[in-house]
Amino acid sequence: MSSSKMKNVTPTQQAYQRLAQKHELKRPVLKNCIRAFFIGGLICFFGQGVQTMYYTFFDFTERTAGNPTVATLIFIAVLLTGFGVYDRFAQFAGAGTAVPVTGFANSVASAAIEHRTEGYVLGVGGNMFKLAGSVIVFGTVAAFIIAIIKTVLLQWGGL
């Protein structure tokens, strides 16, 4: 607890906080990080397999197989979210399921499922894009800033 908050705490409350800290379960941070790393890698490995399937068995090049691969991963994540499987998998895997595009699809689909009782337009449509909007804005702004940096570096002859 910060020192400014400790000023307003009675000695009894301080003793209780020390006792509670002593009995608090330690988080297995290293184990969680390793699990997230491998599960996230497994999702990406699966995505790479899907992409390889698209340019091996269908009429895609390695470059053009990316879009249907992302669409397939989003479809699978939304389907698993609808059946309640993705959330149980995410509880086990932690951040490993949040980072790839499947985590974004899960969060949008979860918001849509949660608010479906409020109607399709105001419930599903209005609430599922609360998260998506901020992510899309952040991605657009980040891409714009990176493009400006790249343009400036190219103008100076660096790259």
| Tens-digit pLDDT profile for residues 36-77 | 899 989 999 999 999 999 999 998 998 899 999 999 999 999
Element (H, E) at 39: helix 29-57
Within-domain flag for 135: no
Domain that residue 33 falls in: 28-114
Within-domain flag for 130: no
CA-nearest of 96, 101, 102 to 79 is: 102
* pTM recorded for the entire structure: 0.67
The number of folded domains in the chain is: 1
| Tens-digit pLDDT profile for residues 91-109 | 888 888 876 788 888 888 8
Within-domain flag for 155: no
- Can you tell me the distance from the alpha carbon of 135 to that of 140, in angstroms, rounded to the nearest whole number? 9
